[in-house]
Amino acid sequence: MTLAAAMPLPGADDPINVSQTVGFGVIAAIMVISALRVVTTRNVVHAAMWLVMVLAGAAAQYVLLAAEFVAVTQVMVYIGAVVVLFLFGVMLTRARLGTDADLTRKNWYGAAFVGVVMVALLAFSLVDTFEDAKVPEDRRTTLAPDLPADASDAEVEAALAQPNVGSNTAAVSDSLFSRYLVPFEVVSVMLTAALIGAIVIARKD
């Protein structure tokens, strides 16, 4: 018995939204072609530019999934900072710009074999497991509305009974600063440590 048969999948009886699916297909095709160019182009600067296309496509997919805060963070951190860092890396490590014939190994077909086998195995297991599970049409997450501190139990119950109060961004910030506060602080300490480590490694002496 497959996993999909053993557990009820949410959204299995929702209709297919054609316009969203077509939009997904267009963005996905752009992303896959750009990703292939990232790993095959002979110019490192061009690879960084194709990487921008992949990252922007990923941001568009997040918007499609109603994860608008993740999409904005993706644009700011990846396209705004990481790609600039890559371009600085290219600039500082290469005396000449232009095509570089030995960017790829000579025995690249071994790596291509690994990639094809991996995508085949992953596709088989995903199709076998999640069959035709659908993402729910309404993708906003429930969030308790602003209630006065002296709200009665009946008011709280009535507010919580309404579906999809608030936005995903508000819900994300609420859970980031309450339930996931300790991991958040750990990540900020780690970012500081990485910054200091990068400076120490890259210094001249």
The interface with another protein within residues 110-149 (CB under 8 A) comprises 110-112, 114-116, 118-119, 122-123, 126-127, 130-136, 139, 141-142
Task: Tell me which DSSP letter residue 14 carries.
Answer: S
- Through-space distance between the first and last CA atoms of the chain, rounded to whole angstroms: 62
Residue 167 in the binding site for another protein (CB under 8 A): no
Distance CA(32)–CA(53), nearest Å, equals 10
Tokens 């071994």, located at residue: 110
Distance separating alpha carbons of residues 59 and 30, to the nearest angstrom: 13
Q: Which residues contact residue 44 at a Cβ distance below 8 angstroms, ignoring those fewer than 6 apart?
A: 90, 94, 100, 103
Measured CA to CA, the distance from residue 112 to residue 38 in angstroms comes to 14
**Residue closer to another protein (CB basis): 91 or 155:** 91
| Minimum distance of another protein from residue 13's CB (angstroms) | 13
125 versus 152: smaller Cβ distance to another protein: 125
Q: Which of 160, 171 has the CB closer to another protein?
A: 171
Enumerate residues 16-75 that contact another protein by CB under 8 A. Answer: 16-17, 20-21, 24-25, 28, 31-32, 35-36, 38-39, 44, 47-48, 51, 54-55, 58, 61-62, 64-67, 69-70, 73-74
Question: At closest approach, how far in Å is the CB of 143 from another protein?
Answer: 9
